[in-house]
Structures are given as C-alpha cells and as structure tokens.
C-alpha cells in the first residue's frame, strides 16, 4: 500500500534534507506508527504520503513514493485525494467551510456523488466520531478537539483506502483519544484501511500497531515490530527521548528482578507475570505514601468568584459559577473533557476575553481595572495553537518582541533571547520565520516567548503537544524550577501521564462547571469523576490499584513508573530475565 524507495527530500533554502534516503514498505491493512524527536521529519513524511509534497509544498525530491502503486509525483493530487485521506496536527489548516455539514459535503460534492449518499455518509461519520449534535454548528464555535474530530470526519466521508494522520489526538480529551484509536481500528477491520499515524500517545495505540518507524534528523533509524523497536532500537537510541509505553518503562526499570517470557508492551501483558510473582510469594507490592505539599497560606494571586461567562455570538454558556484561588508557588493543572470551558477560563485570566465585573481578581484588584499591557507583566499565556500568538518575521524577533516593547536594553534583550534559544534548541532557527518551523518547534517557540518576561503566573494551554518525551520533560523541569522560585504555574492538559508526574493540584471541569479542585491522587481514585470529565488514569496507576486491591474512592500513591518500581520488592531473586526479543 505504501512504498518509499531511497527517498530524499529537501525544502527550498534548507541546509539539510527533511528526509534522507528513506526506504520502507507498509502492507495493505497494516497499522504503522511513526515516532521520532521533534523536528525529525515526521510531519514531512505524512505530507509526502498525502501528495501535499511536492504538489502543494514544493521540494527537491529524489527516489520513489508509491501509494497503492501510484507514483505521487506524477498522479494529480485530486486523484490522490480519493485514495489517501490525511488529517494533520492543525485542524484549522484543513477546514475551509463555515458549517460542519458543509465541511463534510465539500469533498464528495466535488466527486459528483449523489446528494442522498453524501448526507447519509456525513451523518454516519459524525456519529462515529461523536459529533452528531454539531451537524448544523459553525466551525468557529467548536473547541480545538471538536475541530479535530470534524477534520477526521471530513476525510472519512471520502471513503479512502489509506489514512495518514499527524497527531490526530493532540487536542482531544483522553476518552475521546481512546475512542479515536478504537474508531481507526474498526475502520481498518471493516473497510480494510491502511493506517499511517504520527502519535505520541503510545500507551493506547501500541496494541493496534503492526510496525513502528523511527525517524531521527530525517533518517529512518528503525522500522520493525513494536516489541523489537521499544525494547531494542529505542533502548539503544535513548538520546532520542521518545515516548515509550509505560508497561515497557516499568519492565525495563525492573530489569533482572523479574523475568518475562515475552517483553510486555501493554498493561495487561505486564500484569500477568507480576500477579504470578505475588501469588508465589516471590515479591510483594507495597506503595509508599508520597509526602503531601503544605497548603499555601499566602493571599491568592488569582481569585475567581462565581464566574459565569456566555459568548455573545452564539449565546453558549461556556462557564457556570466557577470559583477557585491560585497562590504564588502553586503548580496546578486545569483538566477535563473537550468543550468544558478550560480555554475560555484561561483566556479570561489573560484578559483576552472580558470577565464580568466582580468575578476575577488579580492581587486583590478587579481584572477589569488592570490594563492588558500591565497584566501581561504578571501573567504569561501560551495559546493552545502557537500560530495565534506570533507577530514577527523571525524566531529571534518573536522572543525579543515583549522585551523590546518594554524598552529593555538591547544587550539585555540579546542575553535573554540567547538563553531561550539555547534552552529550547532553537538557535539554528533564529533567523527563520516562526511559520517555517515544525509544529513541535512552534510550540517550543510559543513557550519561549512567554518565559522570557519572567512573569509571576504562567498559563500554558497544552504546552507539550507535538513534543517528544525528552523535550516535554525538559520543559516541565524548567517550569518546576520556576515554580520552586515562587512562580505560579497553571497548565491545561489532556496528558494524564504529565499530570501524574508533575502537578500537585488538579482543577477538573466538565460541561462549563468545576467538578473537583484538590490533590491529583484523589482524581485517579474516583471512577465517577474520571467518567464525567472524560479522563482516565495512566496505565501504571490502574495497574498498581489492581495489584494493591485498592477500592474505588481510595487514593493510591503510585503515579509514575519509578513509583511503581520503588513499590515492587522481590522477596527472592528469580532467574535473570532477558528483555531483548529473540
């Protein structure tokens, strides 16, 4: 279905190829996962498979790209579009209509398909992606996650043979992401689709995958079965910092303390040998309680009191009676299902949207009495879509912008900008346009533009989207250091692994209301809360709860793979296990 033969691709003006001598073959009905560090060439590969490169984005291309035997360089892109469906990281880049229904009608109408068939297909695919209630909605009123679902539906309505997806769950809540993967599996089974996907959510995806392709600086460094890739190739190439299933992380950390007949990829595969060890008395599982952080006693930096907000354009009530406080030195996560009001709340705190008077206070002052310029010295806000905040022509000038408008000495500007460029590995791109970067790099740039001002509160909307694990960990480590210096951090995230490892407090929203505000351990203990907020616990948390026999509603202190391994205590030493595949 997909064959690349010695493909090298270089964009005009680029110093290095985006892809270099890449050869691979994906069979019909196979599910191929593409992983690699930020800037490795993953998105370029997806655009190559869809025909966007070189038909839309010009590039020097050598070698052959064959999709179902069709040469993508010679076959017109409108013909490729009937064979390959592509969903990219940014849904707004491929949604072109005002209404959801028209977005789904557009492609089939251009193929002159009968109207009754088009309407039937459109309603069917919207039901598949959980968006039936939005058939007559405008694209503009949807959340980022909802737009992503519409983008997928608009592709599915064309009934393609090959699906190419670039981070399709990046803007989806955890339950919606899991439903997306289940949908892709059903489509593969029922329609015989081949799927090539770039995705960091490997825990839910790995059971579906037949092959994993690993890219590094445009080169294909591995293409193999997921078990061999994660236990051999990724282990050898640890410098790449790739996302790895938590079951693999635990198994590798356990090392010789536990043997496996076959290295586990999933939570279920890991649980069976662990239970066997416990049943035979060869090990015990004793989680250690985490020390609780002392409560913040100082006056709140942010005080939200009974905030209700309704959009004037469509009269949608996005927030209902929201109240909470955030003090300096707190690290909190704002989480919940798509469309629950998280981004609306963040935009109100950053004064992008206007709060009703007497509902939002900053340092005790009504936010409406503070100018936006002055507020930006206290609060930094990183948009969910980084492109929405870029205002200059180069990466360097983008980071320098906020300093220059404040008349900071140019030598100090150069020092601070240089520090940010180095920290986020953007030095080589300093003179390039922000829009020429990969999505992951643009995300890093958007964070750098805010951190350069050293505000007292940082609000980051999905800061790790598109990041490899090493980049995400480096960013969160820096935020933790700032937090320890007294900065308040509020992140909006769908990444439950990120939440479990870094955040102390969670503010949970669903359907415009605040459901919960407290320690993160309490969230993963309550199935009712997880269900209502469209969340679920990371694999290592659910596994530890089952092994410990913890009842619903009772917190379990195991939140990360390292917590799990610390709780696992062999009572006798079994024969050394070899985690490598034979």
Domain containing 279 equals 245-290+551-582
What is the pLDDT at residue 478? 85
Residue position matching structure tokens 């492109």: 387
Is residue 474 domain-resident? no
236 and 196 in one domain? Answer: yes
Total of domains in the chain = 4
447 pLDDT band (50/70/90 cuts)?
A: confident
Residues 6+ apart with CB under 8 A from 381: 346, 347, 349, 350, 352, 450, 459, 460, 461
Percentage of the residues of the chain whose pLDDT score is greater than 90:
57
What is the pLDDT at residue 241? 83
- Least-confidence region, from 77-91, 150-164, 310-324, 387-401: 77-91
pLDDT of residue 469 exceeding 60 = yes
Is residue 540 domain-resident? no
**Which residue, 510, 525, 540, sits at the end of a domain?**
525
197 and 342 in one domain? Answer: no
pLDDT of residue 164 exceeding 90 = yes
In this predicted model, what pLDDT tens digit does every residue of 199-219 receive, in sequence order?
999 999 999 999 999 999 999
101 and 9 in one domain? Answer: yes
265 pLDDT band (50/70/90 cuts)?
A: very high
Beta partners for 87? 165
Which parts of 106-210 are beta strand (E)? 162-166, 194-198
What is the pLDDT at residue 459? 94
Predicted TM-score (pTM) of this structure: 0.86
What is the pLDDT at residue 575? 47
169 and 49 in one domain? Answer: yes
Is residue 98 domain-resident? yes
Average pLDDT, the chain: 89
276 and 303 in one domain? Answer: no
580 and 517 in one domain? Answer: no
pLDDT (average), residues 238-259? 85
Measured CA to CA, the distance from residue 413 to residue 423 in angstroms comes to 15
169 and 59 in one domain? Answer: yes
84 and 41 in one domain? Answer: yes
SS3 87: strand
Eight-state DSSP code of residue 99: B
Residues 389, 382: contact at Cβ < 8 Å? yes
pLDDT of residue 579 exceeding 90 = no
Of 565, 542, 486, 549, which is closest to residue 174 (Cα–Cα)? Answer: 542
What is the pLDDT at residue 423? 85
Percentage of the residues of the chain whose pLDDT score is greater than 70:
96
pLDDT of residue 401 exceeding 70 = yes
Is residue 476 domain-resident? no
Backbone φ, ψ for residue 528 (5° rounding): -65, -40
- Across 179-188, 309-318, 404-413, the highest mean pLDDT is recorded for 404-413
**Which residue, 208, 224, 243, sits at the end of a domain?**
243
Residues 311, 329: contact at Cβ < 8 Å? no
Could you tell me the maximum CA-CA distance found in the chain, to the nearest angstrom?
70
> Reading across the β-sheet that carries 379-382, which strands appear in turn?
379-382, 457-461, 488-492, 331-336, 505-510, 513-519
461 and 444 in one domain? Answer: no
Structure tokens at 164: 């190419």
User: Which of 468 and 7 is assigned the larger pLDDT?
Assistant: 7
142 and 195 in one domain? Answer: yes
Is residue 500 domain-resident? yes
pLDDT of residue 295 exceeding 60 = no
Peptide bond preceding 25 in cis form (omega within 30 of 0): no
What is the pLDDT at residue 209? 96
183 pLDDT band (50/70/90 cuts)?
A: confident
Structure tokens at 36: 């690699």
Measured CA to CA, the distance from residue 373 to residue 388 in angstroms comes to 18
Is residue 470 domain-resident? no
CATH number of the domain where residue 194 is located: 3.40.50.300
Is residue 496 domain-resident? yes
pLDDT (average), residues 343-371? 95
pLDDT of residue 191 exceeding 90 = no
Is residue 395 domain-resident? yes
387 and 369 in one domain? Answer: no
In this predicted model, what pLDDT tens digit does every residue of 68-83 receive, in sequence order?
899 999 998 888 888 8
438 and 406 in one domain? Answer: yes
pLDDT of residue 255 exceeding 90 = no
What is the pLDDT at residue 82? 81
């Amino acid at each position: 279905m997909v064959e690349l033969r010695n493909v090298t691709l270089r964009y005009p003006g680029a110093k290095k190829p985006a892809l270099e001598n890449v050869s691979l073959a994906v069979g019909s009905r196979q599910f191929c996962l593409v992983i690699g560090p930020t800037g490795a060439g993953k998105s370029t590969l997806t655009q190559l498979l869809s025909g966007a490169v070189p038909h839309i984005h010009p590039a020097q291309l050598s070698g052959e790209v064959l999709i179902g035997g069709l040469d993508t360089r010679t076959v017109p892109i409108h013909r490729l579009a009937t064979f390959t469906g592509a969903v990219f990281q940014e849904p707004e880049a491929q949604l072109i209509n005002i209404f959801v229904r028209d977005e789904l009608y557009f492609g089939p109408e251009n193929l002159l398909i009968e109207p009754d068939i088009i309407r039937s297909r459109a309603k069917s695919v919207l039901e598949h992606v959980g968006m039936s209630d939005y058939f007559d909605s405008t694209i503009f009123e949807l959340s980022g996650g909802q737009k992503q679902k519409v983008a997928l539906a608009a592709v599915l309505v064309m009934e393609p043979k090959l699906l190419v997806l670039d981070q399709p769950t990046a803007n989806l809540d955890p339950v919606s992401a899991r439903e997306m993967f289940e949908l892709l599996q059903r489509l593969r089974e029922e329609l015989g689709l081949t799927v090539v996907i770039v995705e960091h959510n490997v825990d839910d995806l790995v059971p579906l995958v037949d092959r994993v392709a690993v890219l590094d600086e445009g080169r294909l460094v591995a293409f193999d079965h997921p078990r061999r890739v994660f236990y051999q190739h990724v282990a050898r190439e640890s410098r790449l910092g790739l996302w790895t299933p938590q079951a693999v992380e635990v198994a590798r950390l356990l090392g010789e303390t536990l043997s496996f007949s076959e290295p586990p990829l999933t939570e279920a595969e890991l649980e069976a040998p662990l239970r066997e060890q416990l049943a035979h008395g060869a090990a015990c599982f004793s989680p250690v309680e985490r020390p609780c952080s002392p409560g913040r006693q100082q006056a709140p930096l942010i005080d939200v009191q009974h905030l209700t907000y309704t959009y004037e354009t469509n009269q949608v009530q996005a927030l209902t009676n929201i109240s909470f406080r955030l003090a300096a030195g707190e690290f909190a996560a704002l989480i919940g299902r798509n469309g629950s009001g998280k981004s609306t709340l963040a935009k109100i705190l950053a004064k992008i949207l206007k709060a009703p008077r007497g509902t939002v206070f900053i340092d005790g002052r009504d936010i409406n009495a503070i100018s936006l310029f002055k507020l930006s010295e206290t609060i930094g806000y990183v948009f969910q879509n980084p492109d929405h905040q870029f205002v200059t022509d180069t990466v360097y000038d983008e980071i320098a912008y906020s300093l220059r408008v404040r008349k900071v000495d140019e030598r100090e500007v150069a020092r601070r900008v240089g520090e940010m460029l180095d920290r986020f590995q953007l030095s080589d791109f300093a003179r390039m346009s922000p829009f020429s970067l990969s999505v992951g790099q643009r995300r890093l740039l958007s964070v750098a533009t805010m951190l350069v001002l050293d505000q007292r509160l940082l609000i980051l909307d999905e800061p790790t989207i598109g990041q490899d694990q090493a980049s995400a960990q480096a960013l969160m480590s820096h935020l933790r250091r700032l937090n320890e210096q007294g900065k308040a951090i509020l992140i909006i995230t769908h990444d439950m692994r990120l939440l479990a490892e870094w955040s102390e407090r969670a503010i949970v929203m669903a359907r415009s209301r605040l459901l919960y505000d407290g320690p993160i351990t309490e969230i993963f203990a309550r199935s009712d809360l997880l269900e209502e907020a469209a969340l679920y616990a990371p694999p290592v948390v659910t596994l530890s709860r089952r092994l410990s026999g913890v009842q619903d509603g009772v917190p379990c202190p195991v939140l990360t793979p390292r917590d799990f391994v610390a709780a696992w205590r062999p009572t006798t030493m079994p024969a050394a296990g070899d985690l490598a595949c034979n």
